[in-house]
Amino acid sequence: MSDYKHLLIEEFDGVLVVRINRPKVLNALSSEVLEEIAQVFSRFEKNSNLGAALLTGGDTGKKPAFAAGADISEMSELSGYELRAHSLAGQKAMNTIERASKPVLAAIRGFALGGGLELAMACHMRWASENAVLGQPEINLGIIPGFGGSQRLPRLIGKGKALELLLTGDNIKSARALELGLVERVVSDDSLFDEALSFCKKLASKAPIARALILDSVNRGFDIEIDDALNLEADLFGVVGATQDVKEGLNAFLEKRKPEYKGN
């Protein structure tokens, strides 16, 4: 998983760590970066040795950045038809993350703007450092979000609050993002990575089938009627109930020992 031009890849105890690495442009998301993100998370999905992923920005010097946005210099040369194709490519990368059967946490340090925030929102959870700045400033450039921002932001924080951010293009700091529910935790700048990695290791240690089915149940059930969602949960409860991992988990509880899950 190391053959990437714009991503730095590491593995720690079942956790895939992905760092966006374009320091000269504050980790802006070019079409090449988007393609690499889609590739690395497709491989992540297929790798049974990995149980969680941590996505963050590489070192950008005095101006820290998760990803400062899409690559505007690249976009400025595109026609309307080409911009639509670019949007679909970005959405493909985001969907690859969101639809993963293993949890992905975004650790946001510094700027997460435009496409950068859209990338973070595609992750299952988001933690931010105290210095983080988040926003969807596309309207200030005369455009709209193209990588899912106009759809995921209302689902995360509500329609009215999302429209306020989308229509003003204003940026917010991490404390306000926490109030809105856009991030789950705010952590000190110095400890963000270590704490996020420790959390991901915890997620990676959990029962793999149950972990995948929880993500599936939440993702598919979120936007459907409650009765249909409850039926989905019951169906998945039956699926997990037929696995060997369930027997192992229940027996380990009764025997007061640590379970040893095998994913079957």
Active site residue 138: yes
CB of 203 within 8 A of CB of 52? yes
Task: Tell me the two tokens of residue 69.
Answer: 């946005």
Identity of residue 26? L
E strand or H helix at 208, and its extent? helix 208-221
CB of 113 within 8 A of CB of 69? yes
Catalytic residue among 45, 130, 138, 225: 138
Tell me the C-alpha distance between 55 and 16, whole Å.
Answer: 8
Active site residue 77: no
Nearest CA-CA partner of 25 in 144, 136, 111, 106: 111
Tell me the C-alpha distance between 240 and 76, whole Å.
Answer: 49
Catalytic residue among 45, 98, 118, 164: 118
Residue numbers annotated as active site: 118, 138
